[in-house]
Copies of this chain bind each other. A is one copy, B any other.
């Protein structure tokens, strides 16, 4: 019971894009005693991954990559997690931890449990990234001072959880634990809905017949341009985010729309008091957010976030 916890020794990385590649490079830098094996479905990516040294061994099959691994990290789009898990099911070592990096957690957790009954599944989500993708995008410091959310449940073996947390902390991340359900709600409001709204308003402005795009750009300082700054992320990733986090996103959207409609009614009816009250309240909230955000901003979270 009081044996020291052994660090992971061999990590398999499935999917060698921005995140998978960065994990491989980060392990080489921070955990030099750990060996890595990598796999990607695209042979061209495998070739490039080998050239960049994203892992010690680049394997031609997912099954080959996970052989002997005590930690497998699935770094494929969330819509592909189930299929990826299916490919490795027969080759997992006993006691191997299966984890991931996906932007929604409940759907991934369900897909992994379906594909790998009885396996040690501990989903995770490092809130980090850039607008780039592919085997050339990764770098070893991607996770420095980033939040990594790990989502255990009642069944999770606490010793295995501790090993996974220690792994992410070794890569420089600050780990937070929460349930998969809570993760999906938090990310819906802090990331998914803001992106959806930003995408929407850019489209709305672009469709206007009466206002030109150059006018929108010219007078966008301080308002519209803040929306466009949200990183230009991959449409495939975002499609999968919204399909997989559907319930929390729809819940948040419903609330947002109710609140917006209330303000719309106040505008239509000329209810200046209601508007003043709403703006005063949110200004106070926003100021405290900004004040606290200053502290959170120092490690520079948002600068290269790929949109989580």
Contact = CB atoms under 8 A, between A and B. Distances in A.
| Centre residue among A206, A225, A297 by max chain B CB count within 10 A | A225
Given A217-B296, A301-B222, A280 B235 contact: yes
A293 B215 CA distance: 11
Interface stretch (A9-17, A48-56, A132-140, A238-246): A238-246
Contacts of A167: none
Copies in the complex: 2
Nearest to A292: B217
A272 B239 CA distance: 6
Which size class do A's interface residues fall under?
35 or more
Interface of A: 127, 147, 149, 176, 182, 185-187, 189-208, 210-211, 213-233, 235-236, 238-240, 242-243, 246, 249-250, 252-253, 255-257, 259-260, 263-264, 267-268, 270, 272, 275-276, 278-283, 285-290, 292-293, 296-297, 301-302, 305-308
22 contacts: A127-B219, A189-B205, A191-B222, A191-B224, A194-B201, A194-B224, A199-B278, A199-B279, A200-B259, A201-B256, A202-B282, A218-B296, A220-B289, A221-B297, A223-B305, A225-B293, A232-B287, A232-B290, A235-B275, A238-B275, A239-B276, A250-B264
